[in-house]
Amino acid sequence: MTAPKYRELADMLRKRIAQSPIGTSTPSERQLAEDTGVSRMTARRAIDELVKEGLLTREVGRGTFVARPTVSVPLQLTSFTEDMRARGHVPSSRLLHLGDVPANEQVATVFSIEVGAPVMLLSRLRMADGVPMAIERSHLRTDVFPGLDRYDFAEESLYRVLIEDYGVRFEAGEQVIRAGIVRDADAESLRVSKGAAVLELVRVSVSRGSVVEWTTSTYPASRFELSARIAPVT
């Protein structure tokens, strides 16, 4: 089945938007319909879709512009659920994977366990107001958190479960942020074009002296920005 026309047009616009600075004005419905030979209704649906995703913003009487990233999140040891709620967004998730996998060398080093030992892999598509915001892949120690697979992580907050049901007390964490290009396999779920820019956040968090989670979160760069409080060195 071929994608509906407005989706194709939205894809084309996404690519243009990815190369345009914030605030760039974008063609009106009428102009877009004329330029691309589609109906005005198709042009409107494509623009609506991008407004809904937060890539474009409409200003009454002025037109449509490339938007600032919709979600701005501070760098601190909080959960996706808390971060989104604190900013007035409704968080939700789609479960992509929940089950044991053998630890590869990197995972084994992070958790100080044997290569090949089972670790829980939880992969989720995280959304804010129904718009995909991130794919998160969390590794957790199966031996430390037995029974994690009984939770419905499409509904549950991982941090709520760890804190309230497993007695975790987050005391420290380390977060590495790097720029990247979306994996082909993630592009569709994140609703970005192949080759789109992403931010990758890798978090290791610690409770009672042991590493609790190792999570890689992949955020579309167009929808997300991070902020940190900075203070002078004393």
Residue 57 touches ligand GLP, criterion: CB under 6 A: no
User: Which of 158, 190, 211, 212 contacts ligand GLP by CB under 6 A?
Assistant: 158
CB 124 to ligand GLP: min, Å: 7
- CA dist., res. 128 & res. 153, Å (int): 15
User: Which of 138, 142, 207, 218 contacts ligand GLP by CB under 6 A?
Assistant: 138
CB 216 to ligand GLP: min, Å: 8
User: Which of 33, 66, 71, 80 contacts ligand GLP by CB under 6 A?
Assistant: 80
Q: Which residue has the tokens 């309230």?
A: 164
CB 8 to ligand GLP: min, Å: 32
- As a 3-state breakdown, the chain gives helix, strand, coil percent values, each rounded to 5, of 30, 35, 35
Q: Residue 149 gets which letter from DSSP? A: G
- CA dist., res. 234 & res. 225, Å (int): 28
Residue 213 touches ligand GLP, criterion: CB under 6 A: yes
Do β-strands 210-220 and 131-141 pair in parallel, antiparallel, or remain unpaired?
antiparallel
Residue 233 burial (CB count, 10 A)? 4
| β-bridge partners, 103 | none
CB 185 to ligand GLP: min, Å: 20
Draw the binding track, 166-205, toward ligand GLP (x: CB under 6 A; -: no contact).
-----------------------------------x-x--
- CA dist., res. 55 & res. 216, Å (int): 23
Cβ atoms 93, 130 nearer than 8 A: no
Residue 119 touches ligand GLP, criterion: CB under 6 A: no
List residues binding ligand GLP (CB under 6 A).
79-81, 136, 138, 157-160, 201, 203, 213, 215, 217
